[in-house]
Amino acid sequence: MQDNSVMPVHPEENDLRMDRMPHIWCSGCGLGMIVSAYMKGVKQAGISIEKAVVVSGIGCTGRVAGYVKLDSYHTTHGRAIPFATGVKLANRELNVAVISGDGDLFAIGGNHLIHAARRNVDLNVICVNNFIYGMTGGQNAPTTPLEAYSSTAPYGNYEQPFNLVGIATAAGASYVARWTSAHTKRLADSIAEAVSKPGFSFIEVISPCPTVFARKNMGGSGLDLLKKYMKRTKIDHSADPTKIPLDMSNEIVCGVFRNEEKPTFWENVQKGTERKVKKTMEYKVTKRKMTGQRGLK
């Protein structure tokens, strides 16, 4: 008997390495929606896939680099931004994105992030914040809310968490935004906006971790957790990003908080080189006049 059934085509087949499917992410994880939003944002911005590069670090989000169908690097713990900086400086025609987790980018990789933002390196950083170390067993992360439970805080976290958009803003990022993984259209639009402008952009994406964070704290599925996040969400583009930290119960303020133009790291390097050449020539001319030399040596 002939089998006339037709296998359905995956809607993201052209964007993913299908030979690596199924992925390792848990049911209810928001990473799939974030990857989809990134690919849509890149296309929306009119960037050629041949010119797009993704760099990621460790953890659940680190696997993004292995699934997207474009040039990508799965790098060492905390070093995604230095790798990405090298890629961008080696070929400035590339559009380079770092997609990694809150633990990778703000724990061991924290210094790299603040200095890349300070220098305004031409990178697009998408930080997936699930409030916990998911892959390694549910330990406290730099973003774990006060009094939330984790495997290393069985009686509740007593450390103040980082406010990621506040840090990125204070460090000098030229584009700063925050969304949840449920804001797929707004997230894709924000990514398109960020990848289209020069300088260091930072987008925080609040994403559910049903297997670890929800089980230890709120309970329910990934969808249940996402609904709880959405219920608490308030969109306010005029909010001061340094004054909207995240906790277990208050509003999750989302929006584009900063979008400004300023010289990039490479532009400043070029200006510095021009100043050096000019000063060197002036010195040689002065030396020639003082010594009576006729030529420059």
- Omega of the bond prior to 161 within 30 degrees of 0, cis? no
Of the candidates 164, 188, 175, 60, the one whose C-alpha atom is nearest the C-alpha of residue 110 is 164
Contacts of 88 (CB under 8 A, 6+ apart): 94, 96, 121, 122, 123
Whether residue 99 is predicted with pLDDT greater than 70 in this model: the reply is yes
10 Å Cβ neighbour count for 155? 7
Average pLDDT over residues 195-212: 96
Average pLDDT over residues 199-215: 95
Pair 107, 78: CB distance under 8 Å? yes
Pair 153, 144: CB distance under 8 Å? yes
Pair 216, 280: CB distance under 8 Å? no
How confident is the model over 132-142, as pLDDT tens digits?
999 888 899 99
| pLDDT value of residue 284 | 72
HSE at residue 10, side-chain half, CA atoms within 13 A, is 12
| pLDDT value of residue 3 | 59
Average pLDDT over residues 11-39: 90
10 Å Cβ neighbour count for 185? 10
How confident is the model over 164-185, as pLDDT tens digits?
999 999 999 999 999 999 999 9
Whether residue 101 is predicted with pLDDT greater than 60 in this model: the reply is yes
Could you tell me what percent of the chain has a pLDDT over 70?
94
Whether residue 155 is predicted with pLDDT greater than 60 in this model: the reply is yes
CA–CA dist 222, 235 (Å, integer): 22
| pLDDT value of residue 294 | 55
Q: What is the pTM of this model?
A: 0.90
| Dihedral of the alpha carbons of 190, 192, 195, 197, in degrees to the nearest 10 | -80
Whether residue 9 is predicted with pLDDT greater than 90 in this model: the reply is no
Whether residue 295 is predicted with pLDDT greater than 60 in this model: the reply is no
